[in-house]
Amino acid sequence: MTISDLQKRELIAQAAAVRPLAYAPYSHYAVGAAALTPGGRVFTGVNVESAAYPTTMCAERVAMYKAVSEGERVFEAIAVVTQNGGSPCGGCRQVMAEFGLDTLVLIADESGNLLQEATVRDLLPGAFTPKDLPAQA
């Protein structure tokens, strides 16, 4: 899956634009994400923290879950923007793997500088996917 440099910049810009909407009163680490589908739709998300820390939800999953809730199941790319270009957590990598190991992941800092570009497969080698489950009768 290949997207143009312009599409990469636009996706990063959309992730950066929603990042200020993050609810991060505990970590103070705001994250914005924007997921691109093959049809050109973009779904954005931000991290939403909770005082009960395990119930916190990452921006990447919010964006992908929004897309899935509207019928999307395949992604071309997802941009993740943080203050310092932090990489998606393991949970987010696993959810991304569910919908495509070849999805392009763009990791950028708050200035929009693309710091890393990798596929989900690169970020999660040996991913557990639906093919690893036993066949159902």
Residues assigned a catalytic role: 60
Structural domains in the chain plus CATH codes? 5-127 (3.40.140.10)
pLDDT tens per residue, range 87-115: 999 999 999 999 999 999 999 999 999 99
Banded model confidence at residue 19, pLDDT cuts 50, 70, 90:
very high
Task: Return the pLDDT at 1.
Answer: 58
Mean pLDDT, to the nearest integer, of 19-23?
A: 98
Per-residue pLDDT band for 2 (boundaries 50, 70, 90) equals confident
* In contact, 113 and 85? CB cutoff 8 Å: yes
Is the pLDDT assigned to residue 9 strictly greater than 90?
yes
Mean pLDDT, the chain, whole residue set = 96
3-state secondary structure the chain: CCCCHHHHHHHHHHHHHHHHHCECCCCCCCCEEEEECCCCCEEEEECECCCCHHHCECHHHHHHHHHHHCCCCCCCEEEEECCCCCCCCHHHHHHHHHCCCCCEEEEECCCCCEEEEEEHHHHCCCCCCHHHCCCCC
Mean per-residue pLDDT, 31-49: 98
Mean pLDDT of 13-27: 98
Give 137's pLDDT tier (boundaries 50, 70, 90): low
